[in-house]
């Protein structure tokens, strides 16, 4: 029997043994361990210091002076940005009242932040329907209720384009978006800014919330390609740039980076 045949037999026997193991208490426990390992191997981590977010900020130190944090939550990412981008002004957007209060306490004493108790969307409406998890409000979404304990509320919202115009902002060096499946609506609200070529880098989350919102990673590739951006997945010490492939449609908690071709940021991040 040649090596290829031996590998097939071994694989078949391994699969058979695993399937017999599945469904047992030990099998379920092993599956949980394997799931955690799989997530780590795909860089599914909320630790800013480990998952590449801190690295990205450090790489952009010399070019990032205007930064937007959309979905700022209690300010952990902004705190890291203030540390690693000492010359940057950060515009924060957090519409949930309880979370905004935490944000104000966490970073509100910095003269380099601009706090906004509102949401960004694809249209400037009077209100946007959102839900919170019903506890401290740190898990909230405009996509769907986070869970059975979710409560409904309506918040102020506007487009990114309107915000830029009303605050005389003509360029965004880094736009970070973490809004639980509502990322595409936020991006579309910056349509004019993208058309003018005045946004250089976008960091956005692609998670299970994208599935809830019925968004594919392909939608983001299509959106950014029209503006000459390259997309890559963020890893602890680099961005791995690549063309779209259907196998990339994995609804884990991962961050992607889109960078405008020809910008200084593209050079710093090694974008092709």
Give pLDDT, residue 250.
86
Residue 151: its pLDDT value, please?
Answer: 84
pLDDT at 11: 56
pTM (two decimals) = 0.88
| Greatest distance between any 2 Cα atoms in the chain | 74
Distance between CA atoms of 199 and 229, rounded to whole angstroms?
10
- The Cα 219–Cα 259 span in angstroms is 16
146/134 Cα distance (integer angstroms):
9
69-88 pLDDT, tens digit each: 999 999 999 999 999 999 99
Give, in order, the Cα–Cα distances in Å from 140 to each of 11, 130, 201: 44, 7, 25
| Cα–Cα dist 78/72, whole Å | 7
Residues sharing a CB contact under 8 Å with residue 201, sequence separation 6 or more, in sequence order: 60, 64, 173, 174, 175, 257, 258, 259, 260, 263, 265, 269
- pLDDT tens for residues 188-208? 999 999 999 999 999 999 998
The secondary structure of 36-82 as a DSSP string is HHHHHHTT----TTTSSHHHHHHHTTTT-SEEEEES-TTSHHHHHHH
pLDDT for residue 8:
67
Give the pLDDT confidence score for residue 139 in this predicted structure.
Answer: 80
The confidence score (pLDDT) of residue 9 equals 46
CB 93 within 8 A of CB 116: yes
- What is the structure's pLDDT at 35? 47
Report, as ranges of residue numbers, the positions in the chain whose pLDDT lies below 50.
9, 15, 35
Alpha-helical (H) ranges within 85-226 are: 97-107, 160-166, 183-188, 191-196, 208-212, 217-225
């Amino acid at each position: 029997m040649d090596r290829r045949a031996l590998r097939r037999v071994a694989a078949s026997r391994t699969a058979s043994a695993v399937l017999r193991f599945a469904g047992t208490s030990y099998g379920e426990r092993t599956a949980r361990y394997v799931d955690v390992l799989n997530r780590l191997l795909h860089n599914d981590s909320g630790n800013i210091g480990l998952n590449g977010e801190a690295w990205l900020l450090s790489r952009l130190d010399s070019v990032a002076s205007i930064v937007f944090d959309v979905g700022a939550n209690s300010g952990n990412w902004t705190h890291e940005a203030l540390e690693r981008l000492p010359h940057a002004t950060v515009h924060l957007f957090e519409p949930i009242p309880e979370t905004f209060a935490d944000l104000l306490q966490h970073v509100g004493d910095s003269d380099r932040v601009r706090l906004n108790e509102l949401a960004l969307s694809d249209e400037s409406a009077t209100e946007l329907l959102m839900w919170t998890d019903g506890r401290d409000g740190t898990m909230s979404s405009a996509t769907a209720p986070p869970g059975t304990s979710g409560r409904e509320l309506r918040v102020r919202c506007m487009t990114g384009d309107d915000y830029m115009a009303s605050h005389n902002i003509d360029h965004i060096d880094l736009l970070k978006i973490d809004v639980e499946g509502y990322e595409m609506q936020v991006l579309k609200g910056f349509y004019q800014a993208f058309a003018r070529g005045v946004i250089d880098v976008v960091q956005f989350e692609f998670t299970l919330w994208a599935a809830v919102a019925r968004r594919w990673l392909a939608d983001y590739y299509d959106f950014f390609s029209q503006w000459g951006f390259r997309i890559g997945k963020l890893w602890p010490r680099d961005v791995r740039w690549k063309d779209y492939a259907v196998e990339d449609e994995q609804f884990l908690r991962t961050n992607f980076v889109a960078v405008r071709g020809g910008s200084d940021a593209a050079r710093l991040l090694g974008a092709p």
